[in-house]
Amino acid sequence: MEQAIGKAAVLIEALPYIERYYGRVVVVKLGGSVMDNPETEREILRDIAFMNYVGMQPIIVHGGGREITAAMDEAGLEPQWVQGLRYTDERTLTIAENVLCGRINRRIVETLESLGVAAIGLNSLATCVLFAERKYLAGEGDRRIDIGFVGRVTGVNAKVLDLLCKADTVPVIAPIAIDPAGGSLNCNADTAAGEVAAAVKAEKLVMVSDTHGIRTDPKDENSFRSSLNRAEINDLMARRVIDKGMIPKVEACLRAIDAGVNKAHIIDGRLEHSLLLEIFTDKGVGTQILP
């Protein structure tokens, strides 16, 4: 009986959030090692299916860097990195497009459909909603560093996403964009998620990865912060507490916040039901970023 009462209490706690977010768009970015484990990935998608069933309108943007690296290894290609970014030549782009659009995107759609949710893959091999231009890195002086077919997102077809959400269909977006000439460009999935959230004026952006959130001291578990604002984020970045792979996640969150998204979150997808706990409970489990 106590267990049953406990379950009822959880539902009661979730009710105000279900009411608040009914009909609202939530962009969920999937990435990191959570996508390497089929069971973990399926459980996260089950949480997204739950969100859809209670009236929320989720949009998924996914990465897949590790699967791209594995596919390159199989093809005998060694990844080359420039200032932390993967150099993308034509062969690498072909592999990335096949993995992200042909494999991962399709797998996520099929899993959602198996959970009873209507979903559609949006990618450069089918219907693409991301548009980009070539990205160059800054070199010495005015010199630009070419990193190949890597893109900077310049536009998002928000109208298509809005129509799909209103039709109760979950858009699943791969981070391969189309350039002005109709070619493909590989984009950072975190950055793409921030641009999507900004374009559709989402209620929330949730970055699901294999990171615990944000700590003010990376070596001290007790320094975990459940909530941070822009000024605090800027300070942590200036002191390089936030660095490496966390930078594009945080920058994507700030981009979304600047565009009117109410909250952005960074959570650890390895924690069971972390997505639901972050959205539907008072305390949450990750770091929320506020304006």
The answer to whether the pTM exceeds 0.85 is yes
User: Cβ–Cβ contacts within 10 Å for residue 251, how many?
Assistant: 17
Beta carbons of 194 and 259 less than 8 angstroms apart: no
Residue 266 to residue 275: CA distance in whole angstroms: 10
pLDDT of residue 40: 92
pLDDT tens digit sequence for 198-239: 999 999 999 998 877 888 887 777 788 888 988 899 888 888
pLDDT of residue 58: 98
Beta carbons of 72 and 40 less than 8 angstroms apart: no
Q: What percent of the chain is modeled with pLDDT above 70? A: 97
Per-domain residue ranges for the chain?
A: 21-290
Domain 21-290 indexed as CATH 3.40.50.20: no
Helices (H) and strands (E) in the chain, counts: 10, 16
pLDDT of residue 222: 77
Strand partners, 48: none
pLDDT of residue 10: 67
Which letter does DSSP use for residue 127 in this model?
Answer: B
DSSP string, 185-207: EEE-HHHHHHHHHHHHT-SEEEE
pLDDT tens digit sequence for 132-166: 999 998 887 788 999 999 999 999 999 999 999 99
Residue 158 to residue 259: CA distance in whole angstroms: 14
**Alpha helical stretches, state H, 134-259:** 158-166, 189-200, 230-238, 246-258
Give the pairing of strands 119-122 and 170-173.
parallel
**3-state secondary structure string, 21-56?**
HCCCEEEEEECHHHHCCHHHHHHHHHHHHHHHHCCC
Residue 273 to residue 288: CA distance in whole angstroms: 17
pLDDT of residue 80: 86
Higher local confidence (pLDDT), 215 or 255: 255
pLDDT tens digit sequence for 67-122: 999 999 999 998 888 877 789 999 999 999 999 999 999 999 999 999 999 999 99
Residue 89 to residue 78: CA distance in whole angstroms: 12
Residue 132 exposed, middle or buried by CB count within 10 Å (0-12, 13-18, 19+): buried
Beta carbons of 135 and 151 less than 8 angstroms apart: yes
DSSP string, 260-276: T-SEEEEEETTSTTHHH
pLDDT tens digit sequence for 10-67: 677 888 888 999 999 999 999 888 888 899 999 999 999 999 999 999 999 999 988 9
Record the tokens describing residue 42, joined without a space. Answer: 């399926």
pLDDT of residue 180: 95
